[in-house]
Structure 1
Amino acid sequence: MHKYYSTLEDFEMKKIKLFGVLSLALLTFTACGSEKNDDPTNTTEAKTASKTKKTTKEKKDTNLLINNSEFKKLADNTVDSEETKVVAQKDYSLDFTDDSWTEMKVKVDKVSILKVDDFEDFSGNKPEGFIILHLSLFDLTRDVTAYPQQGTILTSDGEQTDGSYSLDAWDGDLMKGAKKEGYAAYELKKLDNVESVKNIRFTFNANYDTDDFDDNNAFHDYDMTIDLK
């Protein structure tokens, strides 16, 4: 009896030790798995956050035209706005006013020269730069129609270019007493240096409706020469 009891007791002790070893192993395995899963780099959220951070950093490339604070809408005219870059920019602050027509005054307070890279519009044109004017139309004595974005520019380098790019729909039919301002962009097929343009000649027309065929004032051609300095 004593021998049998001793053997049974030994057997039970071995079972207890085996159970203890298995329990310890299970706890260790669970802890390791928990540490691995708690690592944020191994979660879907972490991977998404990393991708978002990378994308945000790419969008902050200040050389991209689409990230230009003033002229990013010009990028809407490109085939691939994520590729077009502004490689140089020259800004001129001005105080130029044309009051040659009694029905509306025109002010140009800024002209910017941009040299761009990888700009291609939807017609396949690949200009090397742009002249962009900031204008104000004011002191309207009657309803008029004017499109400064569709005028013509002649540079001191001899390049003549017509307005064919829209930055915003701010010109057109204007009511008496209105004051409108916005940008007008003109492409330059060739531009070696943003400082090479010394002056520009800028023209556009305006008109108002009338039934008087003898009213010679109904149509007006604005024609201004602006020195850039």
Structure 2
Amino acid sequence: MATRKTATKSNGKNGTTSRKSTTAAASGRSRAGNSGSRSKSNGGDMENSKFHQLFMDELKDIYWAEKHLVKALPKMQKAATTTELVNAFADHLAATKQHVSRVEEIFEMMGMRPVAKKCEAMEGLVSEAQELIEEEEESAVLDAGLIIAAQKVEHYEIAAYGSLRTLATRMGHTDAANLLEQTLDEEKETDVLLTQIAETSVNEEALAE
């Protein structure tokens, strides 16, 4: 009899342990489920936050700016007289078309169709370049002015893409940030190239006219 009581008592303890383990596991699953819900909710809040909306507004702005620049660059290329500058505008036109595609890709990453929001700054900068073309005769002076106009555009784009990259990085949109940084680097390279063209030939020729 003593042996049977001991066995029964032991079995009771094992049963209690088993029930506690089951309860703890269920509690763990419940906590994990709640944590997952909170994480998803926070992600949703981020997507609807004013910070995210700022990012999307700036993305729409640069999308319009790039598409507008695609139309303007051929005119600037046609007006330029220096071979190096003509080639620089041609190369940047090809790059700008790629920049448009990258912005469209980022819209897709955000789950949105590409939407353009009129960029008053880019419209003004392009208008300045157009006025210069209409008022100045073909010359090195015109080329010097076109470089200035183009660099104003580049500096705006550098500021825009740098800011967009920072916002994307802060929100954890790594792939979008990488695309934005790639375009940012190309805008900087174009700015440096324009400076080189101005300093090595155009400015001297314009000064001599």
Give the TM-score of the pair, scaled to structure 2: 0.34
Indicate the structure (1 or 2) with the bigger Cα radius of gyration. 1
Return the structure number with greater strand share: 1
Greater relative contact order (Cα < 8 A, sep 6+) = 2
Return the structure number with greater helix share: 2
